[in-house]
């Protein structure tokens, strides 16, 4: 082995404040579908469960989510949204009809968590609702009436019904999804057919005086660029606030054997990271198509489903998509949020899939027990970027190599908040080498630096109900000032968040 193999790895960053872009807080959004224990057993629990509650909403999870300032919550799906009929979920709970959740485990949905309960939850969280409405099996009239029920402030049979159900004032919901995955579970449509449907549904999903809708079209499955092309060409900025994109990171490249959430080795680790970095290419290429039709960037790219998707935890219902969450998944989250921040001129909204007990969750629960996952802590460390001024940079990074393959070891994003503090979030994906990063700050005045780091002994480490703090942030004291340069040694497999005052 040559001497160089043992040398300290180095990276360099040149950061400037030459930008007019803002990192929208809505990039930090979350997703809660009627799926497995996401709603039932996650947010909405049995009356007898010994935890603090309002109505049947669990307040320990509400308080944990309030700490990370989640800006929006997407509901009721996902695939579930295109089978959901909102009228089944309003009115006295005992009279609500039951349905089969055909997408997710074939379980009985009792509709006890419906429109009012969702909006009560959003109110408790201090978050904006993002309603994903039914195009696949619903009607234009059904969608149109749901908007009226939620947003009209005058007298109508529907607003009387809303008042009788306990909410005389309009809810003023503005984020409005017109279908979900309309290329798949949302109706198996072609992009041309969906573009026509979108125009019709969006027409009758009305703006009311107190709530202008931000209509979001069902977007492409990962690299289906033709979908974006057709939607931008046939709808474009006229009646579309956002166009969505869904991309999931698998440890393997095989949907029938995705790979475990725990106990994996470096091969799965490396492959998961490599797959997560595809998000950079997807966002870049979809944005380039959008630029052709919308050079002024009026239509937002809304990545309203993203995250790591593994095999379910052994012994759990395969239809419930319950998986553990490791340091690896936190590194994917940190990397993906850096990508979104760096594309904040076009990516104005995103939702991690999903908030509690489903896929790459922020929170896991087991009856009255609750834990915060490593991914939760990434959102905690990154919340400082919400609505902050984006700071552009140039990065030189070494590669992380495994078995003849390479990925960039370091990724980063940076912003300046309204008080003038600069926040830099750095990720080192290399499983075994720390990396010394020298940052030159152009036209940025600062005196002192503080930080936090998220790492652990092993990339597969997780938080369990018995040991809930295995992967949790700690104070980071290894950042120093050298002239106007910032010197930081980022540990292997870690996320470092720095604040410069």
Residues found near ligand AHR in the complex (CB under 6 A): 33, 77-79, 180-181, 305, 353-354, 359
The residues, ordered by sequence, that sit 6+ positions from 392 with a Cβ below 8 Å of its Cβ are 15, 16, 18, 19
CA 38/CA 185 separation, integer angstroms: 19
Q: Does the annotation count 305 as an active-site position?
A: yes
Q: Which is nearer to ligand AHR, 279 or 344 (CB)?
A: 279
Contact 417, 388 (CB under 8 A): yes
Q: Which is nearer to ligand AHR, 73 or 353 (CB)?
A: 353
Q: Which is nearer to ligand AHR, 78 or 191 (CB)?
A: 78
CA 471/CA 269 separation, integer angstroms: 17
Print the SS3 string covering 432-493. CCCEEEEEEEECCCCCCEEEEEECCCCCCCECCCCCCCCCCCEECCCEEEECCEEEEEECCC
The residues, ordered by sequence, that sit 6+ positions from 201 with a Cβ below 8 Å of its Cβ are 133, 135, 140, 143, 178, 179
Among 305, 313, 351, 440, the active-site one is 305
Q: Which residue is nearest to ligand AHR (CB)?
A: 78
Q: How far is the CB of 84 from ligand AHR (least distance, A)?
A: 11
Q: Please count the residues of the chain.
A: 501
Q: How far is the CB of 99 from ligand AHR (least distance, A)?
A: 16
Q: How far is the CB of 132 from ligand AHR (least distance, A)?
A: 9
Q: Which is nearer to ligand AHR, 65 or 353 (CB)?
A: 353
Beta-bridge partners for 208: 211
Q: Which is nearer to ligand AHR, 34 or 346 (CB)?
A: 34
Among 109, 117, 181, 351, the active-site one is 181
Q: How far is the CB of 30 from ligand AHR (least distance, A)?
A: 12
Contact 118, 44 (CB under 8 A): no
Q: How far is the CB of 29 from ligand AHR (least distance, A)?
A: 14
CA 232/CA 227 separation, integer angstroms: 9
Q: How far is the CB of 119 from ligand AHR (least distance, A)?
A: 21
CA 374/CA 362 separation, integer angstroms: 8
Dihedral of the CA atoms 109, 45, 306, 211 (nearest 10)? Answer: 80
Q: Which is nearer to ligand AHR, 216 or 424 (CB)?
A: 216
Give the residue numbers annotated as catalytic, written as ranges. Answer: 181, 305
């Amino acid at each position: 082995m040559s001497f160089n193999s043992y040398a300290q790895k180095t990276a360099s960053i040149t950061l400037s404040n030459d930008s007019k872009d803002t990192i929208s807080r809505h990039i930090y959004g979350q997703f809660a579908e009627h799926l497995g224990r996401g709603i039932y057993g996650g947010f909405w629990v049995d009356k007898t469960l010994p935890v603090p509650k309002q109505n049947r909403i669990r307040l320990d999870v509400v308080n944990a989510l309030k700490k990370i300032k989640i800006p929006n919550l997407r509901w009721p799906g996902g695939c579930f949204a295109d089978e959901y009929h909102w009228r089944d979920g309003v009115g006295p709970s005992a009279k609500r009809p039951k349905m089969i959740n055909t997408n997710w485990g074939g379980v009985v949905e009792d509709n006890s968590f419906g429109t009012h309960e969702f909006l009560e939850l959003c109110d408790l969280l201090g978050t904006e609702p993002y309603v994903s409405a039914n195009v696949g099996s619903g009607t234009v009239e059904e969608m149109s009436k749901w908007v009226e029920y939620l947003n009209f402030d005058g007298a109508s049979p529907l607003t009387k019904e809303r008042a009788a159900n306990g909410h005389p004032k309009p809810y003023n919901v503005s984020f409005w999804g017109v279908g979900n995955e309309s290329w798949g579970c949302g109706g198996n449509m072609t992009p041309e057919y969906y573009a026509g449907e979108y125009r019709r549904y969006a027409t009758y999903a009305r703006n009311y005086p107190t709530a202008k809708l931000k209509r979001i079209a069902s977007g492409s499955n990962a690299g289906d660029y033709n979908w974006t092309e057709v939607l931008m060409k046939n709808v474009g900025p006229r009646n579309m606030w956002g166009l969505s994109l869904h991309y999931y990171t698998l440890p393997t490249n095989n949907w029938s054997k995705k790979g475990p959430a725990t106990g994996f080795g470096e091969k799965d680790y490396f492959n998961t990271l490599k797959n997560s970095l595809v998000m950079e290419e997807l966002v870049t290429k979809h944005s380039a198509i959008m630029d052709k039709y919308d050079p002024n960037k009026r239509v937002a790219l809304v990545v309203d489903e993203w995250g790591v998707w593994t095999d379910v935890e052994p012994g759990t219902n395969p239809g419930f998509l319950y998986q553990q969450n490791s340091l690896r998944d936190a590194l994917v989250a940190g990397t993906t949020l850096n990508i979104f921040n760096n594309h904040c001129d076009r990516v104005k909204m995103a939702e991690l899939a999903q908030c509690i007990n489903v896929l790459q969750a922020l929170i896991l629960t087991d009856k009255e027990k609750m834990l915060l996952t490593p991914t939760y802590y990434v959102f905690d460390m990154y919340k400082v970027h919400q609505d902050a001024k984006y700071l552009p940079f140039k990065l030189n990074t070494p590669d992380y190599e495994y078995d003849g393959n390479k990925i960039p070891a370091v990724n980063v994003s940076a912003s300046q908040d309204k008080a003038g503090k600069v926040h830099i979030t750095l990720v080192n994906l290399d499983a075994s080498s720390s990396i010394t990063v020298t940052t030159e700050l152009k036209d940025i005045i600062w005196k002192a630096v503080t930080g936090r780091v998220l790492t652990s002994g092993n990339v597969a480490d997780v938080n369990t109900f018995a040991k809930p703090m295995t992967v949790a942030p700690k104070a980071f004291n290894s950042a120093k000032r050298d002239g106007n340069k910032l010197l930081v040694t980022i540990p292997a497999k870690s996320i470092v968040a720095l604040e410069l005052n």
